[in-house]
Structure 1
Amino acid sequence: MDKENYTAWDSAEFLTDDDIIIEYLKAALEENDPAFFMKAIGNVARSKGMSTIAQETHLGRPSLYKALSGERDPRIGTVMKVLAALGIQLTIAPRQA
Structure 2
Amino acid sequence: MNKTTTRTWDAVEYLDSPEMIREYLKVSFEEGDSEQLMMAIGQVAKAQGISEIAKKANLSRQNLYKALAQGSSPKFETVRKVVEALGCKLGIV
> Shorter-normalised TM-score: what interval?
0.7 to 0.9
TM-aligned CA distance change 1:6 to 1:69, over 3 Å = farther
Q: Gapped runs of 5+ residues in structure 1?
A: none
Q: 1:42: how far off?
A: 0.7
Q: 2 CA distance for matches of 1:9 and 1:66?
A: 24
The percent identity for this pair of structures is 43
TM-score by length of 1: 0.82
Higher mean alpha-carbon deviation, 5-14 vs 39-48, is at 5-14
In the TM superposition, what is the alpha-carbon distance from 1:56 to its structure 2 partner?
1.5
Partner amino acid, structure 2, of 1:39: M
Unaligned runs of 5+ in 2: none
Q: Counterparts of 1:30 and 1:12 in 2: how far apart (Å)?
A: 20
Give the TM-score normalised by structure 2.
0.86
Q: Aligned-pair RMSD on alpha carbons? A: 1.9
**Alignment coverage as a number of residue pairs:** 93
Give the CA deviation at 1:73: 0.7
CA–CA separation in structure 2 for the residues paired with 1:56 and 1:74: 17
Change (3 A) 1:61 1:33: same
